[in-house]
Amino acid sequence: MMLPNSSSWFHILRVEYAQSYFKSMEKHINTAIEGGAIIYPSPSQYFRAMEFTPFHHIRVVIVGGEPYHEPGRATGLLFSIPMAQSSILTTELKTIFKAIKADTKLINTCGDLSHWALQNVLLLPTVFTVERGKPNSHTGIGWEILTRRIIEHIDAKAEPTAWILWGEAANKMRRYIQNPAALILSSCYPDARAGEKGFYFSRQFSRVNTFLMKHRYKPIDWSTL
Residue 70 pLDDT: 96
Q: In the predicted model, is pLDDT for residue 10 greater than 80? A: yes
Q: Would you say residue 55 lies in a domain?
A: yes
Measured distance CA(3)–CA(17) in Å, rounded: 8
Q: Is the dihedral of CA 7, 148, 198, 208 positive or negative?
A: negative
Residue 108 pLDDT: 96
Residue 206 pLDDT: 98
Q: Would you say residue 221 lies in a domain?
A: no
Measured distance CA(77)–CA(88) in Å, rounded: 16
Total structural domains within the chain: 1
Q: Would you say residue 37 lies in a domain?
A: yes
Q: Would you say residue 145 lies in a domain?
A: yes
Three-state SS at 130: strand
pLDDT digits (tens, 9 = 90+) for 92-144: 999 999 999 999 999 999 999 999 999 999 999 999 999 999 999 999 999 99
Q: Would you say residue 205 lies in a domain?
A: yes
Measured distance CA(155)–CA(139) in Å, rounded: 23
Q: Residue 71, preceding bond cis, omega within 30 degrees? A: no
Band the pLDDT of 225: cuts 50, 70, 90: confident
Residue 98: give its domain's CATH number.
Answer: 3.40.470.10
Residue 11 pLDDT: 84
Count other Cβ atoms within 10 Å, centred on residue 89.
17
Q: In the predicted model, is pLDDT for residue 87 greater than 90? A: no
CB 178 within 8 A of CB 75: no
Give DSSP secondary structure letters for 42-96.
-GGGTTHHHHHS-GGG--EEEE------STTT--SSTT---GGGTTS--HHHHHH
Band the pLDDT of 80: cuts 50, 70, 90: very high
Q: Would you say residue 225 lies in a domain?
A: no
Q: Would you say residue 224 lies in a domain?
A: no
**Which residue segment(s) compose the domain that 95 sits in?**
7-214
Q: Would you say residue 219 lies in a domain?
A: no
